[in-house]
Structure 1
Amino acid sequence: MHHPGKSLTKRLAWRLSVLQTLTLVATIAALTWSLINARASYIDDAVSKTILRSLVVEGGTLRLDDDRDMAMLLTKSPGLWFVAADEQGRHLQYGHIPAAYASFVAALPSLEASEIHSSEPPYVMTMRLAVDERDGDRVHVMVGGVPLSGPAVLVARIAFYLGWRIGLPLVLLTLIAVPWIIHRAMAGVGRVARQAGEIDIADRGARLEDGAVPRELQPLVRAFNTALARLAEGYDARDRFLTDAAHELRAPIAILEARLEALPPGDSRTRLLTDLARLANIAEQLLDLQRLGRQPDTLSVLDLVALAREVSSDVAPLVLDAGYELAMDAPDHPVKIVGDRLSLSRALTNLIQNAIVHAGGKGLIHVEVHDDGVLQVSDQGPGIPREERARVFTPFYRLQPSSVGTGLGLHLVQEIVARHGGDIRVTDAPGGGARFRIRLPSA
């Protein structure tokens, strides 16, 4: 079962985002540590913002609007003082201003945002100056005398300032840019994956393109190519062994056949000759498989009708001796296909021999050729169960272990058809039995 793995793009993007967030937190902590003084006091930024929001111009003067937040601030901070001035000369003063700041009042419209932190209780010298833009004018407010916040206020202000101005855009950029960058960098991986999916074991020299993937993945591709090379060597060694074994079997089989022929006729001699023929057939089919894998493609235009008639004539004595009838139906005109005459003749012969072995020793073996390049061989035997039809093409697989078949004939047929770019299927024949249907490319 295929289990999809975790996305490298998502994992990397989220890990970079977490790393950037941690880096930002560390930066905020370091910046706060460098700026903060444990003895210093701070006026909350919300105080100056509340005052600025409540200021209105009416009758050419500044005044405090009936603002709920401002009313709460005045109630909670009886010692509050502030001075507000705009650059049009309007001025508003509230509370008792410390003498040290009295000289700032006249120059207030020319002062920018700033803070003064007193270091000793009761922190009466702590002051904050804020500026607000409104309707083309700038309003300046100097405030003090309110309950003070400790160092935590500075931490919150720095975190807020850096968080949404730097941290948030950086994380969003990472979540968008990193997947795109990884997708571009990993484009070659998809091409190599397609190459791997198209590898045919018959193509022993097939290799993946290691230069198409990033350097970090090249060792994996090279290891895969090395595994392919070892696999090809193993298949070559297996092919050589099977070929040599089949060749070596030929001599003792021929000698044994000559000695059996010299025996007096009888049931034992007949059974031994039958078993020997089966052994010889296995050796020949092994050689056919090896030759099929090694011989170059010698495809040419040929007449499927003529080929089927030739093979049917050759095997007719075997069919009749086994107790069957043989029939062939084909068009009166040639059916041109592209193929190799010898291997296709072997395939059709194997199908007819398979029917002889498995059809029960009676009935009709029917060979058909159709105009669209379809070749069919049907029998009237017990047929092949639907669940077994895909397995009958497996080497050395037999429906009945006691069968005299070799288990290689149908596998050889499938290999021959595949090399011709065709396909083979097993269906039920009309009236019972098995039907093998081969479709070959037309010329």
Structure 2
Amino acid sequence: MAQVDVFSLAAAITALLLAAGLLIAYAINRNLTSFGWWAGAFALLALSLATVTMRLGVPAVWVKWLSWGSFYAATCLVAYGLHRSGDTRANPLARMVAGGVLFVAIATALTVLNAAPHYWMLFGPIPVLVFMVWSAALVFRAGSWGYGLTMVFGIVAIAIRSIFHPGGFSRLLNPPPPPPPVLRGGFAPASNPGAGIPLQQPPPTARGLFDLAPPPGPRPPVEHALTITLITLAALLVLAIALVLRNVMAELNRMRERSTTDAMTGLLNRVTFEEAAALRLGETGLRPVCAILFDIDHFKRINDTAGHAAGDQVIARLGQLLREMSLTHGISARIGGEEFAVILAGSDLAAARLYAEAIRSGLSSADFGDAVGWGVTMSAGIAIHQPGETLHGLMGRADEALYAAKAAGRDRVVVASDATAAAHRPGRAANRVASG
């Protein structure tokens, strides 16, 4: 008949519940790829916790192999899952194989030597500790201090459990006393002639919550290591929650970025740009603020002649230029198909014009290979913010300057003060669409 420690069983049930919760979260949102690996790891951990203190009526070494093998497999699954999801850069396969060889060697030695259960409790976690220490060193070297410190906490907790567990190192240093001799030939209180009467009854031992000594008796019951089990479970939960929250926050950040940025260029989208630009206008005070609108010349011709892939390549290159040359107080965005906008706080018209010319020349000198068979150019319009002017008014004047640049032959930068009557022609928007 199997005998299991009640606290180990409770910990196993908790691990199973965590595995189920992570699996449900992964089923709801498949982008949380590491949750699937964590669910499998907690299922293996539940198997390990349920069997680590299991006793059967007959010796069963395979239970120890199953328990500590599941523990090591759970650790490997977490490490490999984090690598596959991109949270860690170092491939853990070599460490997994090395730790697996170490586990097989230790388990084989304990089996051949017919080691007592407390030796398994002491030496069983060694492959896990070696694997985690090795992994933590690589994580710290990569600069992931939060994940590394969490791993160190788990290493310390596992080591404490192995050393101070009643079935581990403390049992090795303080083995249970041998059973008292019995007087043959007497009669036991139950009138069993063959039972014998002990010469001296062992005195009762007071036991408390923090008592780490094994229970008395020739064959003590399964250890009720409440304190150590709770420490271990708390360490595992802290490790799991820390990494799960890290993945959740990363996914939330990715979702926020997808909702606020343009996927092709990495710049802000139109809605986010308007919100950020309005806030920037309210914060500038007396400092000058300039708005710049960029538009790729003959973009429709690029798509129609060279293909949409070439058009996407041109857009991505312009977005890269805006990111690389972004200023401290600048806000860059893709606000249309081939139209980009920049807000420069603290820059006058001269500085804004130099910036726009640098972007224009950077795109015209870009090499797109065989994708586009001619030099790609763009036009730009600049306007400086006037006192009391709204963002809509500022962007409207920059748009008029951009149209003037298009009307003047493209591939140039025009400031709003230079865009006079040509900027107010009727049907300007329709003409811009037709002219590209």
> TM-score, normalised on structure 1?
0.24
Q: Which has the higher strand share?
A: 1
Q: Which has the higher helix share?
A: 2
> TM-score, normalised on structure 2?
0.24
